[in-house]
Amino acid sequence: MDSSQAPPILLRCRCVIDTARGRPSANRAILVSSGRIIGVGPDLAAPADARIIDLGDATCLPGLIDLNAHLMYIPGTLPRDAIVRSSARKVLDGLRHAEIMLRAGFTTIRNLGDVDSFYGLVEMRDAIARGEFAGPRMVVAPHFLSATGGHGDLSEIAPDAPPLAFARIVDGVDSMRKAIREEVKYGADWIKLFVSGGILSASDSPDMVSFSDEELRAAVDETHRLGRKIAVHAMGTESIKASLRAGVDDIEHGWLIDDEGIALLRERSACLVPTAYVATYITEEGARLGISEGNLAKARDLVAKRDDCLRNAIAAGVKVGFGTDNGPWPHHLAAREFGELVRLGMTPGQALRAATVTAAELLGLENEIGSIEVGKQADIIAVAHDPLEDVGALAEVGFVMRAGEVVRNDF
């Protein structure tokens, strides 16, 4: 039943977490009607026609937000994956992964590019929004934009073979502007650039800067002119700083950030989305997945340097958003990123804020999602234990409501 036509729902739980302040409020009830929260408090009376859901000793909190998901990926399959699965198959796999993430408590995701050469992400976003499939609310950058020889270019393909890439290849200012205009024309909410090399690509280095300053400035200018925001994959020190000087809205990974980069993040009020667990997973499971020794060596080198850099950034108080970069690792394990953020110096409350309040602000959806407040979308999850005491509780979500519709209830 459409939530706008369904009877009101009164949720009862042991406590509700105030994600803005990082504290629980005991013995709460939440009243939901027409997909929105219309009451929160200890003594709410249930309307006569209300459906009452008693979650007992569970802790309620807003639905989680993943700022860096890749729903079409199959772990361990690049680069072959770009060839053997059709666009249609990738969309079908993506819809399956979308439901997995929703059931894990992620009611909103930002899918920053994927392995599809067409606009399957836009169709997925719209089909889920129409209620045709179960999944999180989606915000999408349809494609990665990469330079020739960059992270999104399949450099292991022979030079006399037909061109093949899992990103859109753009070179030069005019090419950059045209690509961004096309992305927006066909439905992009965000623009995503590969500014450094990465782990799962053949011949590039995380230390390289793939685009010139002129290309980066053009990308930011065109994106903002068209009313969108721009995120960049930037692992190496210089790629981070070049991107921030150009005016990007957020840095994905940022693993080798230095003091100057931290200062730029704070000065520009940009967001850092660390995606720390992906490299850990690759170093631990990469050999089993068939990832090449060269790529594993890059991952081990980055992991050895990453933690101190990210700890420094977190200690400096930069704005941190929660993103998993899952796809290279299984979607159902997305909550493992919380443990990494805590290990790197965040409190459980700060890590939870990164996946709710801060993420909603970055997406421009702070008036809709990110906290349990009257007037907001009824995106609500529940866990058996208080995640402010043990962030691992977020790996065991037992109740999910998305826009007023109950997705699962194991309590």
Look at residue 248 and tell me if it is in a domain.
Answer: yes
We report the CATH number of the domain holding residue 397 as: 2.30.40.10
96 and 223 in one domain? yes
Q: Is the peptide bond before 79 cis (omega within 30 degrees of 0)?
A: yes
Look at residue 168 and tell me if it is in a domain.
Answer: yes
Look at residue 1 and tell me if it is in a domain.
Answer: no
123 or 153, which is more confident: 123
Indicate the pTM of the whole model.
0.94
Report the pLDDT value the prediction gives residue 141, as an integer from 0 to 100.
Answer: 97
Q: Which of 342, 363, 384 is the last residue of a domain?
A: 363
Look at residue 213 and tell me if it is in a domain.
Answer: yes
159 or 10, which is more confident: 10
Look at residue 3 and tell me if it is in a domain.
Answer: no
Report the pLDDT value the prediction gives residue 148, as an integer from 0 to 100.
Answer: 78
Report the pLDDT value the prediction gives residue 80, as an integer from 0 to 100.
Answer: 63
230 and 147 in one domain? yes
- The C-alpha atoms of residue 241 and residue 260 are separated, in whole angstroms, by 8
383 and 248 in one domain? no
- Predicted confidence (pLDDT) per residue in 45-87, tens digit: 889 999 999 999 999 999 999 999 999 988 666 656 666 788 8
Assign 298 a pLDDT band (cuts: 50, 70, 90).
Answer: confident
We report the CATH number of the domain holding residue 135 as: 3.20.20.140
122 and 36 in one domain? no
164 or 124, which is more confident: 124
Q: Interior CA angle at 272 toward 240 and 104, to 5°?
A: 135
191 and 137 in one domain? yes
307 and 277 in one domain? yes
205 and 322 in one domain? yes
3-state secondary structure 54-86: ECCCCEEEECEEEEEECCCCCCCCCCCHHHHCC
391 and 280 in one domain? no
149: number of Cβ within 10 Å:
17
Q: Where are the beta strands (DSSP E) in 6-157?
A: 9-18, 23-33, 36-41, 51-54, 59-62, 64-69, 106-112, 137-141, 144-146
Q: Does residue 165 surpass a pLDDT of 60?
A: no
Q: Tokens at residue 75, please?
A: 């772990």
- Predicted confidence (pLDDT) per residue in 82-115, tens digit: 667 888 999 999 999 999 999 999 999 999 999 8
Look at residue 257 and tell me if it is in a domain.
Answer: yes
199 or 172, which is more confident: 172
Mean pLDDT of the chain, nearest integer: 92
- In the numeric block, the tokens 């493992």 are attached to 336
Look at residue 271 and tell me if it is in a domain.
Answer: yes
- The DSSP secondary-structure symbol of 143 reads S
Assign 153 a pLDDT band (cuts: 50, 70, 90).
Answer: low
351 and 245 in one domain? yes
204 and 242 in one domain? yes
130 and 47 in one domain? no
- The C-alpha atoms of residue 147 and residue 219 are separated, in whole angstroms, by 12
Look at residue 255 and tell me if it is in a domain.
Answer: yes
- The C-alpha atoms of residue 98 and residue 94 are separated, in whole angstroms, by 6
Domain residue limits at 117: 64-363
105 and 31 in one domain? no
- The DSSP secondary-structure symbol of 355 reads T
Domain count, the chain: 2
